[in-house]
Chains A and B, each alone.
Chain A
Amino acid sequence: MGRRVLSVLEPDHRSGPGLTRRTDWFPVLKLELEGITKRFGSLLANDHIDLVVEPGEIHSLLGENGAGKSTLMNVLYGLYNPTEGRILVDGKPVNFKGPGDAMDAGIGMVHQHFMLIPVFTVAENVALGNEATHAGGMLNLEETRRKIREISDKYGFHVDPDALVEDLPVGVQQRVEIIKALVRDAEVLILDEPTAVLTPQETDELIDIMAQLKANGTSIVFISHKLREVKAVSDLITVIRRGKVVGTAEPSASTAELASLMVGRAVSLTLDKEDATPGEKTFQVTDLKVTAANGHRVVDGVSFDVARGEVLAVAGVQGNGQTELTEAVLGLQDHVSGSIKLEGRELVGRSIKQVLAAGVGFVPEDRTVDGLVGPFTIAENMVLDMYDRPPYAKGLGMKPKVIADHARQKVEEFDVRTSGIESAVGTLSGGNQQKVVLARELSRSLKLFIASQPTRGLDVGSIEFVHKRIITERDNGTPVMIVSTELDEVAEIADRVAVMYQGTLMGIVPGDTSRDVLGLMMAGMSAEDAKAQPRTEHPMETGGPAGIDDRHDGPDDESGERGGDK
């Protein structure tokens, strides 16, 4: 399926390695990693990794969550000392004692979690560590501002040097990170999962920026687990699995090839699920408004309903009010108006305990912070919201034996890999932690199931498991509401999709709506306008299967057409 589409994917301005290299007048840098091994205690994060980044190349590092990509880049950037192995710059071995050395050698990095200080201005952030000063160590921010404007103009970044970083949208924050690297004359730029926080449109802009950078002689190491993007931007792809390099590929390699290389087995590209058989609409949200403590209206007049036996996915870029929407249902938000009805009962104004007791199962977005008590045992976490009711407690006294039995049973049922139910939950892997949360929430009889970013940070095996459980719950006749920023996931499990933008719903569309329509809606276009939009302009518009989770190509006629358009 893939190859036909892939061949379309090479617009002229992003030609193969070599063509844009202008060694005659640009400083270039060749980077080599030899046998890099990094160990954390007993955990082998990187195992003898070899990697060569040619000057002026966009080199992708593809791997699952937890494969060891970020660790490798942190080694390269001098944040970690490698346990073994060495780094060569232009053929000369270097020893980075810290990021300062790496930066001096011409390496810049944009971290997955931005390394920006929220209460500083853009100029202060850019200056930090590289300050221009007057006599006596007094800051000369004017010099920094000038440099920012220069770079900003050159690449069309539109960044105000005096804006506070915390007030900037994530896309702009990312540009500030790129400016930080460029101000330091980075010749190799490491981008760690840069698209995770961006809208599809912002992602396209980023890809343009990468092309410009490459044209100016900057090499880029692009880290991602999204096949679509990797194939779209790379000159060469190195695939990492469990800390080892398992192969390199040209971007023309097929999605299935890359996916199986990355995961280590053939990945089933479709989730076995029956079509939804929606029943009665038992969950209704009407004109819901949520105001944050700082006065910002984060959810603004949202209305929708969910029927028994269907999955409604709320899509949108991170930070558009989806989180607050789910939190408002649970009673975690303080300033809520409107109505949330579950089987006719009003939930607004009830305590969290009452909402949970009303039959709401809730998987929070950030399991380590909101879902689990890290130092508590698995058994304790399994009853975190049921500890005070029979059979787990009688009066004030708890029943440790009942709780342990319950935990043992659930650990088996949900295949939680652990040395025992007395292990602290904080020691489990992300996937197993999520299974604990799911096991807890699904062990009550539910009238509504809400899961926020249910597979964030999980490996493919866990993702499959979580998706199956969600569908099972749906097929049991529970209304299910999922929040996801990953379109692949939305496409995978949604029966209907509600797209949120700046606190409002852009519309609710069927689950098989094409991703570019969803993308436009995520950027603030109404469903009608988005569908009417001609779709040719985006380089990322592959239309084909891109993420390994994207199992939609077959029945989705639009994608085939679009492939043909090009």
Chain B
Amino acid sequence: MSRSDDGNRRDDDDQRDPDFGQDENRARADVETGGGREPLPAVPAEAQSGEVEPQQDRGRSILKEIFQGGSLVSILAIVLSLVLGGLLIAITNERVADAASYFFARPTDTLVAAWEAASNSYVALFQGAIFNPRASDFQGMIFPFTETLAVATPLILAGLGVALAFRAGLFNIGAQGQIIIGATMAAWVGFTLDLPWGVHLLLVMLAGIIGGGLWAGIAGLLKARTGAHEVILTIMLNYIAIHLLQFLLTTESFQRPGASNPISPQLDQTAMYPRLFGDAFRLHWGFIVAIGATVLVWWLLHRSTIGFEFRAVGANPYASKTAGISVAKGYTLVMIIAGALAGLAGVAQVSGTEGVLTDGVAASFGFDAITVALLGRSKPWGTFFAGLLFGAFRAGGVTMQTLTGTPIDIVLVVQSMIVLFIAAPPLVRAIFRIHEDGDGRKDKRRRKSERQTVKAGGAA
């Protein structure tokens, strides 16, 4: 967009008087917020539109797309983060430290030790996440991949929730709380009611959907009605949710009879997702639900009127309101659906892998979901694959910790670096010294001439 001249003179009109927000919605969007008043939505355009650079020639080849578009940057960001993570592993490795003490005598020892530390960890990560060649049978070999899918299931579901809210301009930091409440309600239905096959599981899923939707709906409703910032609201609701769960697990209706620690009874078999490939694998039907949810979210966003409203509200609430779209309804509804998706993630936990309710039921899936959604650029399928990737990290991380002693925290480090790098393509390009199109060269020439001008000015 050209910021040239008065042609767009209203474009950068920052004189908008905040007090003059008599228009209800504008006042809402303007009111105090965690982060502050946002004249337009807080979520960056790329997160909403799902495009990094929305305006590009359609005619360019796929190859060019890969090498110059977002994909290359994404791949490089992942590589870069893995390299940095590897360095961290190497530096903190005990053997490396030992070898480093006589670095100047035999520097190769240090380097070899460092290489081994990092590569062993990553090999273990790979073996734990994708394929284990050392297993005795085929089942054992592919077991890691099914684990990845199982771990990815709640990540994908919760990630979709976060992504969907992003598209409506809302920062849903509250997936954690929504998973917790969803899992709590689902689990209660699962271990309290006694129902036949099918019906029971459906009710469990419904309870999870309602629980998550309700919890997120509180934030959506408050945002819509009072203008309170959703970041603050959802963060606070996360804490309330976990304390609520901890309290419930001390009550009769939730605590396992006879147990002294906060743990619920086992869910009924009828309340569990069936295993996809038999009892040898933990992978369950929840993964199919996650695929279905991805399709559904895609349809919702790109083919339905509701999704149109969400995206419009997210990209420009003022214009949406003027066009008759209810911003308040949009905020509330999108949060409810986002929460429902997170609630399904909770169901995937209690009915899929865990089978019981504890206060660690959500692990850190709710927070990982944010990074998943960011990595997936808030696109449904992007989120799906980002969920798979982070699921692989998580599943492999466990194996890595067991086999090599490298703490699983490294996964957090790598994940967050990936998101940071992906959010700043110019940084990645600078690190790998790649230019956008041929523009790089043009840029240089321009800069050169600029410098000459300056010089001429200074000399004369």
Contact = CB atoms under 8 A, between A and B. Distances in A.
A368 B11 contact: yes
B322 A40 contact: no
A311 B78 CA distance: 61
A114 B15 contact: yes
Interface string A328-371: 00101111000000000000000111011100001010111111
Interface stretch (A21-29, A229-237, A379-387): A379-387
A333 B20 CA distance: 12
Given A86-B457, A334-B22, A396-B304, A384 B319 contact: yes
Contacts of A367: 10
Given A364-B322, A380-B308, A69 B7 contact: no
Given A71-B4, A93-B457, A426-B1, A397 B316 contact: no
A352 B318 CA distance: 12
B23 A396 contact: no
B449 A84 contact: yes
B456 interface: yes
A304 interface: no
A364 B321 CA distance: 11
Contacts of B460: 86, 93
B303 interface: yes
A379 to B, nearest CB: 11
B430 interface: no
A457 B8 contact: yes
B4 A45 contact: yes
Contact of A369 (B1, B7, B318): B318
A66 B4 contact: yes
Nearest to A387: B308
A352 B306 contact: no
B54 to A, nearest CB: 5
Nearest to A70: B5
A512 interface: no
Interface string B47-65: 0110100110010000000
Task: Pick from B9, B22, B326 the residue with the most CB of A within 10 Å.
Answer: B22
Contact of B7 (A112, A422, A423, A430): A430
A375 B315 CA distance: 7
A429 B7 CA distance: 8
A370 B319 contact: yes
B303 to A, nearest CB: 6
Contacts of B12: 113
Interface stretch (A149-157, A290-298, A465-473): A290-298
A118 B458 CA distance: 38
B304 A397 contact: yes
A459 interface: yes
A393 B305 contact: yes
A86 B456 contact: yes
A128 B406 CA distance: 54
Interface residues of A, number: 83
Contact of A333 (B23, B55, B303, B457): B23
Given A65-B6, A372-B316, A83 B450 contact: yes
Contacts of A225: 6
Contacts of A380: 308, 312
B322 A353 contact: no
A55 interface: no
A424 interface: yes
B19 interface: yes
B13 A113 contact: yes
Contact of B22 (A40, A294, A393): A294
Given A351-B324, A396-B304, A293 B7 contact: no
A193 interface: yes
B4 A40 contact: yes
A293 B21 contact: yes
Nearest to A376: B315
A457 B11 CA distance: 10
Interface in A71-107: 71, 81-87, 93-95
A374 interface: yes
B437 to A, nearest CB: 12
Contacts of A70: 5-6, 9
A427 interface: yes
Contacts of B3: 40
Contacts of A39: 446
Contact of B2 (A43, A81, A298): A43
Contact of B10 (A114, A294, A369, A427): A369
A446 B305 CA distance: 23
B365 to A, nearest CB: 29
Nearest to B300: A396
A194 interface: no
A324 B22 contact: yes
A83 B449 contact: yes
Contacts of A400: 303
A68 interface: yes
B449 A366 contact: no
Contact of A166 (B17, B51, B308): B17
A87 B457 CA distance: 8
Contacts of A45: 2, 4-5
A281 B450 CA distance: 62
A395 B127 CA distance: 48
Interface string A213-248: 000000000000100000000000000000000000
Contacts of A112: 6, 9
B15 to A, nearest CB: 5
Given A65-B7, A384-B312, A424-B54, A330 B319 contact: no
A253 interface: no
Contacts of B321: 332, 352, 370
A25 B445 CA distance: 47
Interface string A34-49: 0000011101010000
A404 B27 CA distance: 34
Task: Pick from B311, B326, B453 the residue with the most CB of A within 10 Å.
Answer: B453
A327 interface: yes
A420 interface: yes
A385 B323 contact: yes
Nearest to A43: B2
A71 B3 CA distance: 9
A269 interface: no
A267 interface: no
Contacts of B309: 387-388
B7 A373 contact: no
Given A375-B45, A384-B323, A457 B6 contact: yes
Interface in B298-356: 303-306, 308-309, 311-312, 315-316, 318-326
B156 to A, nearest CB: 23
Contacts of A422: 58
B315 A298 contact: no
Contacts of B27: 293
B6 A193 contact: yes
A140 B13 CA distance: 31
B454 interface: yes
Interface of B: 1-15, 17-24, 27, 45, 48-49, 51, 54-55, 58, 303-306, 308-309, 311-312, 315-316, 318-326, 446, 449-450, 453-454, 456-458, 460
27 contacts: A67-B5, A69-B5, A70-B9, A71-B5, A83-B446, A83-B453, A86-B457, A93-B457, A95-B458, A118-B15, A292-B22, A294-B19, A324-B22, A334-B24, A368-B11, A373-B312, A373-B320, A375-B49, A375-B315, A384-B319, A384-B320, A397-B303, A424-B55, A427-B1, A456-B9, A457-B7, A457-B8
The 3 A-B pairs of least Cβ separation, nearest first, read A66-B7, A292-B22, A353-B324
